[in-house]
Amino acid sequence: MTKKFTMAFALFGFAVANPATAATTLEYNSAPTSEFTYGSGNDYSPANAAVLTSDNVELALRFHQTFTAAPASDSSGVYSFALGTDPLSFDWSILGDTSSALISMTNLLTGTSTSYDPFFFGNDNATNGSGAAQNSFRLNWAGIGYDPDVNNTYSVNLTSGSNSLTTYAKLGTGAVTTAAVPEPSTWAMMLLGFGFVGGAMRSAKRQQKLGVSYA
């Protein structure tokens, strides 16, 4: 009896000292509890947003043709658009923890990427009636080479504290995966490196010949 009581007490103590980590959920084609209500004309329905929630934050992201309701994404958060869709925007929302907030945009075809802090002084963000910070951004303002007439995929990542959410905008058939072509400066460094290797090998052979002796 004593052993059972001691064991139960120990397990209780462990549970108290190690509370279960808060659950984090991610849903696509959902609507944030804070809704998109900043500015005017952004309360599209259905919201069709990717929504991540945890114990201290709610993040939401969606892509859409500017001034048009967002289409539904697939089960991986990929929004598909026809070639020629321009301009293309994404909406973001953060409710709760806004520490270390960062928005990163990437051109998956070229690898070009840029990031900005939406809460840095001067950057646009608005607070809606639910207390969420929100705004939109156009991909052709991002400086990542947005071209509506090229098959490509663009990603946007929204981070706040330890929470991160990513969605994708696919134009046409999406990004064409090709091997990266080295820049001219990279070629020069590679050729210089080959030259050094060749010189070292010739020097080693010369030393090897000089070291041979005959009895």
Please indicate, yes or no, whether the overall pTM of this predicted structure exceeds 0.75: no
For 202, the 3-state DSSP assignment is helix
Can you give the residue range of the structural domain that contains 192? 182-215
pLDDT of residue 85: 97
pLDDT band at residue 193 using 50, 70 and 90 as cut-offs: low
Tokens 């400086």 label which residue?
A: 143
Q: Does residue 5 sit within a domain?
A: no
Q: Are residues 88 and 152 in the same domain?
A: yes
Q: Which of 70-79, 82-91, 119-128, 163-172 has the lowest mean pLDDT?
A: 119-128
Average pLDDT, rounded, for the chain? 78
Q: Does residue 3 sit within a domain?
A: no
Please give the average per-residue pLDDT across 67-94, as a whole number.
Answer: 96
pLDDT of residue 189: 52
Q: Are residues 66 and 163 in the same domain?
A: yes
Burial 88-123 (b: 16+ CB within 10 A, else e): bbbbbbbbbbeeebebbbbbbbeeeeeeeebeeeee
Asked if pLDDT for residue 23 goes beyond 90, the answer is: no
Q: Does residue 11 sit within a domain?
A: no
pLDDT band at residue 40 using 50, 70 and 90 as cut-offs: low
Q: Are residues 33 and 105 in the same domain?
A: yes
Q: Are residues 159 and 187 in the same domain?
A: no
**Which range, 32-46, 172-186, 194-208, has the best average confidence (pLDDT)?**
32-46
What is the domain count for the chain?
2
